[in-house]
């Protein structure tokens, strides 16, 4: 797949709508970029799947974005970045995941060298963040906590800080990390920034939250700049595709992004 113009769009994919946190960050950092977003809402969540299945889904997601002539692909999915990053590396286009840039930000943020990581079951089991942080700073201790229900909560719209369901589930998941006195918490799934208010309420203001979506967007902006691939337009467009019902996606996505979502198109992946 050739890159022939800096005006080609950026491709972003996720298992659902969590990757919209990357869209938000990208439009803030690089408002002139066109973005094609694919949310695999028909097969969410990825975090409970086998490695083989995650690799298969990743390859299909990437192939779809390549069909849209993108110049860069961002895996806005902690599970894919942890388990199937090699699939993206082999796609022939610049490819960015969330693990490395997020780990770098967390190391810079921590004061007591205790970092918590929350993610899907597959992300935590892979120990991708633990391994990456160990390479960057062996003196840091990492505590992983799978929070699988967070994905479903976001997809269902249970994201308000005063929602009793969101609070109860968050307290149950996060208490072990509070007990370990982590001062930095990696939101290791791009769904999780949509729960920022709830998580901050439970963890307290003394804990720094690291948004994996924002970290990936910063890395993408740097890569595009380094390779002279930045768009010279003043305003870009966003195009949205999903693999399941478009109405549910538009409703929750619109609330998260704070603006009405234009046409969302349903596609069937082969």
pLDDT tens digit sequence for 178-187: 999 999 999 9
DSSP 143-208: EEEE-HHHHHHHHHT---TT-HHHHHHHHHHHHHHHHTT-SEEEE-STTGGGGHHHHHHHH-TTSE
The number of beta carbons lying within 10 Å of the beta carbon of residue 2 is 9
Residue 54: the pLDDT is: 95
Q: Are 215 and 184 in contact (CB under 8 A)?
A: no
Average pLDDT over residues 147-174: 91
DSSP 53-101: HHHHHHHHHHHHHHTTT-SEEEE--HHHHHHSHHHHHTTSS-EE-SHHH
Write down the pTM of the prediction: 0.87
Which of 189, 202, 253, 261 is catalytic? The answer is 189
Q: Is 147 a catalytic residue?
A: no
**Average pLDDT over the chain, rounded to whole?**
93
Residue 1: the pLDDT is: 59
**Domains, in order of start, for the chain:** 10-97+214-266 (3.40.50.1860), 99-212 (3.40.50.1860)
Which of 44, 77, 219, 253 is catalytic? The answer is 77
* C-alpha 94, offset from chain centre: 17
pLDDT (tens digit per residue) in 48-61 = 899 999 999 999 99
Which two three-digit tokens encode residue 82?
């942890």
What is the 3 state secondary structure string of 168-183? HHHHHHHHHHHHCCCC
Lowest mean pLDDT among 19-33, 191-205, 213-227, 242-256: 242-256
Indicate the SS3 state at residue 141: strand
């Amino acid at each position: 797949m050739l890159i022939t113009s800096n005006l080609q769009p950026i491709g972003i994919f996720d298992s659902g709508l969590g990757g919209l946190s990357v869209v938000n960050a990208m439009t803030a950092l690089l408002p002139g970029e066109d973005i094609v977003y694919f949310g695999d809402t028909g097969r969410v969540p990825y975090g409970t799947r086998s490695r083989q299945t995650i690799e298969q889904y990743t390859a299909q997601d990437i192939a779809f974005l390549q069909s849209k002539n993108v110049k860069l692909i961002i895996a806005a999915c902690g599970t894919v970045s942890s388990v199937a990053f090699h699939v993206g590396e082999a796609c022939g286009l610049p490819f960015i995941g969330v693990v490395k840039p997020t780990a770098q930000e967390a190391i810079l943020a921590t004061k007591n060298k205790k970092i918590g990581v929350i993610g899907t079951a597959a992300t935590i089991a892979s120990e991708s963040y633990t391994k990456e942080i160990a390479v960057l700073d062996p003196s840091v201790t990492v505590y992983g906590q799978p929070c699988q229900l967070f994905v479903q909560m976001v997809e269902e719209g249970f994201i308000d800080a005063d929602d009793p369901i969101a609070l109860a589930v968050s307290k149950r998941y996060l208490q072990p990390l509070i007990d370990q006195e982590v001062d930095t918490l990696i939101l290791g799934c791009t769904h999780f920034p949509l729960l920022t208010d709830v998580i901050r309420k439970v963890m307290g203001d003394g804990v720094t939250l690291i948004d994996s979506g924002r970290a990936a967007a910063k890395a993408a902006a740097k890569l595009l700049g380094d390779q002279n691939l930045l768009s010279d337009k003043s305003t870009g467009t966003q195009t949205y595709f999903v693999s399941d019902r478009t109405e549910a996606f538009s409703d929750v996505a619109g609330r998260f992004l704070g603006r009405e979502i234009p046409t969302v198109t349903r596609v069937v992946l082969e």
